[in-house]
Chain A
């Protein structure tokens, strides 16, 4: 059971990084990014391939971040001018493009066979059990990412991004280079997703394109919406609730032994959907809202 909880905490931590990134994109900047999984996948694959080629873990992770950020900037430069709807569709398209690329660039990625044997860093260091060690690593990453996000959200940069989210035209009229700011936000969020991807690859030690379907993007959106877009803290507990709902329904078999497997799987989907709807509505009622009513105070003395 402890093993299971540690695994769960590790997965929540990795997912939190994804949610923090998407929250920066959508919650703070208003970018409708439907292709978040692309940055996750790039981070995972780059980090996996490089470590297998003998590059140290942190360097490989850094390179993964670099690849994802670069991809996000290219994508943003090409698509952000086209308007919100196009951006949403094209990001989704981009994430599928990345997945198909990983599937077909067989010489590099082994395609559908995936890449096994990705080493976990610092295995057995100081005699600490492997999974606990790794949870510690994930928690450190989450802590640092959370602090950095929180500082940014309350900084003049965060304020300008929120202004652009609220009214792009007014921001332009008031001298803001909207494209440049959006690219900054896009790059930062993509970088966080790549860190998540790298941590995922070295945790499960095996990556395959099937792990990087739009479903990941969808769940990240759910986590962000539950926590309340624009709220850094919300990204934490929104993700925790999401994973709890997803995992909790796995135990349905124990409670309802009379229902057969396929039906149970279908029921599970229904329960997840329903649970998420109720959660979102209920959380809103409690005073959570899509955006904080009073924007967070700016950095003050």
Chain B
């Protein structure tokens, strides 16, 4: 069986800076894989390369055996990969509920003539979609805010909204860029539980970037440490925590 997600020698430079530098790694199906590393290590850039937001300068990405290198973002999504953004990108003038409803792929009512010619069909689809979105909003604790425009949400709520949106897509691989940033401690516990539930009960493979070490240590296995654009270490969290190379990378010391 081919690996679930395989990254081979992926490279991306911005001017003279190699943000991702011949990076190779694998994500195994069914895991919650943590991606950590100091600021500027290239974690977000790696996400952008995997999801069609940057074109790699070199290297390959394979997902379930298919080459998805350089595929445009909406086609990556079609393959079952969904990502969130480090800085929330909510649809600000849409309501929280609408933010979720947008996500359903291939809605009949997205075609120009269907809302005119088949209003009944659109109405039925919408009712079903709205129910499904409300269930997800309940799960992430945003149901109360369903009717509010998304721009009124707090930073932490926007992170939850980002997560909630991806769940409407039922992805095979969920890539979360710092899902816990700005989320308060109580919500953080729920978020942690929820991510674990997704992996365990819904069979979603999760790749997550996080600076909150408590979250990473609690739910991620394995943990991949990225430094200067490539993996420095990979392993179970308690081993990674004690790895001297990891410590020195975080402290900014040059590793050998």
User: Which A residues fall within an 8 A CB radius of B?
Assistant: 148, 151-152, 155-157, 159-160, 162-163, 165-167, 169-178, 181, 184, 188, 230, 291-295, 298-301
Contacts and interface: CB of A to CB of B under 8 A. Distances in A.
Contacts of A162: 91, 93-94
B228 interface: no
B78 A151 contact: no
Contact of B126 (A166, A291, A298): A298
Contacts of A294: 95, 147-149
A173 B116 contact: no
- Tell me whether chain A's interface is mostly helix, strand or loop, or mixed: helix
B53 A155 contact: no
B147 A173 contact: no
Interface in B10-66: 51-53
B74 interface: yes
Interface of B: 51-53, 72-74, 77-78, 82-83, 85, 89-95, 98-99, 101-103, 105, 107-112, 114-116, 119, 122-123, 125-127, 130, 147-149, 165-166, 169
Given A174-B165, A175-B169, A159 B83 contact: no
22 contacts: A152-B115, A156-B101, A156-B107, A156-B110, A156-B115, A156-B122, A157-B114, A160-B102, A162-B94, A173-B53, A173-B82, A174-B103, A174-B169, A175-B74, A188-B112, A295-B93, A295-B149, A298-B98, A298-B126, A299-B115, A301-B123, A301-B127
A291 B150 CA distance: 13
Contacts, number: 127
B119 to A, nearest CB: 7
A175 B105 contact: yes
A291 B149 CA distance: 11
A95 B169 CA distance: 41
A172 B126 contact: no
A163 to B, nearest CB: 4
Contacts of B114: 155, 157
A166 B108 CA distance: 22
Contacts of B98: 159, 163, 295, 298
B115 A151 contact: yes
Contacts of B105: 175
Contact of B83 (A173, A230, A291): A173
A293 B101 CA distance: 18
The 4 A-B pairs with the shortest beta carbon distances in the complex, nearest first, are: A156-B109, A155-B115, A175-B77, A170-B89
Contacts of B148: 294
Nearest to A292: B93
Contact of A175 (B95, B103, B111, B119): B103
B112 A156 contact: no
A181 B148 CA distance: 25
